[in-house]
């Protein structure tokens, strides 16, 4: 039987190793993709105008708030009353391309570099959703949010909220560096195949706390994916 100190040491080692890999890979990515950053920034500026980046408060580790960064994908079009049009109407052709290939997520390499995110983990969601989580769903904040995650390689945005949360919680309970490597590999494959995109919709429907699937209704195991 493994004692508590051994478990704590293993957890600390895994967490430290993951952070080291995050720092090295994110710094390398920022340098390697710097020409892409410049090119996309110029294209977005010309096609959609300023601002180039979309910034939004999201919930991270322990539910703490941080500012996530993305390349902007939607216009600022308003209706006659001055209200923003629905997301699906503001999503531009350029924005759809950026989302289909996850290029809009590249600025989050900076969030990873400074320790607000990891390469792999549950996706960071809006802070207002914190009030709607069940005690079990809130456990998704026991690890850092990720650029990609187990839910994203198991259906991306085609999943329901309940399915996404169940996959997130399975990751929290089972993560290790080998699983992270598997998720990154599957992420590249999913992006290249454009699997699980929203097919013209702007964003996922808002989470309201409603649940329709009992816990355990989704087979989360790697060998089932």
Compute the average pLDDT of residues 50-70.
Answer: 96
For residue 110, is pLDDT > 70? yes
pLDDT for 157: 65
pTM: 0.87
Compute the average pLDDT of residues 195-210.
Answer: 67
**C-alpha to C-alpha distance for 60 and 123, rounded to whole angstroms:** 9
pLDDT for 171: 96
Domain count, the chain: 1
β-pair partners for 56: 68
Say which residues have a Cβ less than 8 Å from residue 74's Cβ, sequence separation at least 6.
54, 87, 90, 91, 92, 95, 202
Range of the domain at 92: 4-224
- Average pLDDT over the chain, rounded to whole? 87
Chain segment 118-141, per-residue pLDDT in tens? 999 999 999 999 999 999 999 999
Compute the average pLDDT of residues 69-91.
Answer: 85
For residue 194, is pLDDT > 60? yes
Confidence of residue 84 (pLDDT cuts 50, 70, 90): confident
Chain segment 209-225, per-residue pLDDT in tens? 866 655 666 666 666 45
For residue 164, is pLDDT > 80? yes
* Lowest-confidence segment of 39-48, 118-127, 198-207 by average pLDDT: 198-207
How many residues does this entry show for the chain? Answer: 225
Q: Tell me whether residue 116 is exposed, middle or buried, using C-beta atoms within 10 angstroms of its C-beta: 0 to 12, 13 to 18, 19 or more.
A: buried
């Amino acid at each position: 039987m493994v004692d508590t100190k051994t478990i704590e040491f293993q957890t600390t080692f895994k967490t430290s190793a993951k952070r080291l890999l995050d720092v090295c890979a994110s710094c390398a990515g920022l340098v390697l993709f710097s020409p892409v950053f410049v090119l996309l920034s110029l294209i977005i500026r010309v096609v959609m105008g300023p601002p180039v980046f979309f910034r939004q408060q999201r919930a991270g580790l322990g539910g703490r708030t941080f500012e996530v960064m993305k390349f902007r994908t939607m216009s600022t079009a308003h209706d006659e009353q001055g209200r923003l049009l629905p997301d699906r109407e503001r999503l531009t052709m350029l924005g759809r391309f950026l989302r289909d290939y996850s290029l809009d997520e590249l600025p989050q390499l900076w969030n990873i570099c400074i320790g607000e995110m990891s390469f792999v983990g549950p996706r960071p969601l809006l802070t207002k959703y914190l009030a709607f989580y069940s005690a079990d769903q809130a456990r998704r904040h026991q690890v850092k949010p990720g650029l990609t995650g187990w839910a994203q390689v198991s259906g991306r945005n085609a999943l329901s909220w309940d399915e996404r949360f169940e996959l997130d919680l399975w990751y929290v309970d089972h993560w290790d560096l080998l699983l992270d490597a598997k998720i990154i590999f599957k992420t590249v494959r999913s992006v290249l195949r454009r699997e699980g995109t929203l097919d013209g919709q702007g964003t996922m429907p808002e989470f309201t706390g409603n649940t329709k699937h009992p816990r355990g209704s989704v087979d989360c195991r790697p060998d089932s994916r």
